[in-house]
Amino acid sequence: MPTFPALFGRAPAVVATAPGRVNLIGEHTDYNDGLVLPTAVPLRTTIALAVRDDDRVRVASAAVAGGAVREYQLGHETPSGEWLDYLQGCTRALAERGRLSGFEALVTSTVPLGSGLSSSAALEVALLRALRKAFALPLDDVTLALLAHRAEHDFVGARVGVMDQMAASLGDVRSALLLDARTLVHEAVPLPASLALIVIDSGIAHRHAAGDYNARRSECEQAAALLGVASLRDVGPGELAQASALPSPLGRRVRHVVTENARVRDAVAALRGGDLRALGALFLASHASLRDDFTVSLPELDALVEIAAADPAVFGARLTGGGFGGSVVIAAHADDSESTAVRIARAYHTRTGSPGRVLVGATARQPVD
């Protein structure tokens, strides 16, 4: 693996990290101004950085092209469709906050790409944390998350909501982050010690910038316009009958968002009350809604959820992230959660032939290194 001194001939001046995240419940609700409940995972992206005295940016990723150094010029950021766009988007967003000079950076990460754990947000937030430190920028954690979101939404072109960046900037592994995506009001909800969160990769990569994700967002916007509301956050359960009369599939999209917001509230109550069976039932209901009403699941994800749900150590499971691949999150007994994770992954591999890689399999109390 390349080192910073080997690539750039000096030691880094600052090092910053940010976690990946798993969304416990509240999928495709953030860009509808709704409620989400993510938590950080003990997988992180790290940026080592040193300042230059010109306007050149030289960066390398240990995971891409053998650590080859890529370059661009501040003020001339141009989308390329590659990983460098996430960094370019951040420096473009920061341009309004004060002048940067160039820098050199090395990216290393344990957050796997395309697995639904928001490797992009971890990269953006880690870079912005490093730049905040290097240039003494007066950015609080919420502002930093909003800059990271602007980078991905406006520059990269993935029309994601703000959840991923808020979770990477504010989240921790011992609590869930209850976030109102409209107001940005947030609070930590402690995770019970009896709960293990298991994340298993389906083996099918997904990309937020792909058309299917953006298409779902457009459908939600169409539905909101037809219903005469600013966003689907403003639709209540009593208006679902009216929504069902919308052209297909818009009514089903509305039903998912409305019921998913309610499930977030119920999941918070379940966590606070230590009712993990209720939490598991909400996971399963969320997956069914994502599969049937929002149609973002795949047969492999359905199989993984079905296998997990049948395990006696599991309370419930659901796809997590944007869908169309990626991972599932499983709520399980904390006792011997590692063996539970391996058992489910093996059964998934036997049924589908896909590897079923365990990404997170320890208890909710696992510390961050």
Q: Where in the chain is the domain with CATH 3.30.230.10?
A: 4-189
* pLDDT value of position 73: 97
- Which residue of the set 164, 201, 293, 311 is catalytic? 164
- Whether this model's pTM surpasses 0.85: yes
* pLDDT value of position 9: 97
164 is catalytic: yes
* pLDDT value of position 210: 56
Name the token pair of 174.
């011992």
State the Cα torsion 215-218-224-228 to the nearest 10°: -140
* pLDDT value of position 113: 81
Give the 3-state secondary structure of residue 33. coil
DSSP helix, strand, coil percent of the chain (3-state; round to 5)? 45, 25, 35
Contact 208, 153 (CB under 8 A): no
4-189 has which fold?
Answer: Ribosomal Protein S5; domain 2 (3.30.230)
Contact 125, 140 (CB under 8 A): no
119-135 and 84-94 helices, crossing angle to 10°:
40
Contact 151, 97 (CB under 8 A): no
Name the token pair of 267.
């999941």
Q: Where in the chain is the domain with CATH 3.30.70.890?
A: 192-360
CA–CA gap between residue 87 and residue 43 (Å, rounded): 19
**CATH code of the region 192-360:** 3.30.70.890
Q: One digit per residue, pLDDT tens: the chain, 369 residues?
A: 889 999 999 999 999 999 999 999 999 999 999 999 999 999 999 999 999 999 999 999 998 888 999 999 999 999 999 999 999 999 999 987 777 999 999 999 999 887 778 899 999 999 999 999 999 999 999 999 999 999 999 999 887 889 999 999 999 999 999 999 999 999 999 999 999 999 999 998 865 445 788 899 999 999 999 999 999 999 999 999 999 999 999 999 999 999 999 999 999 999 999 999 999 999 999 999 999 999 999 999 999 999 999 999 999 999 998 899 889 999 999 998 999 999 999 999 999 999 889 999 854 433 332
Secondary structure, 3-state, 154-180: HHHCCCCCCHHHHHHHHCECCEEEEEE
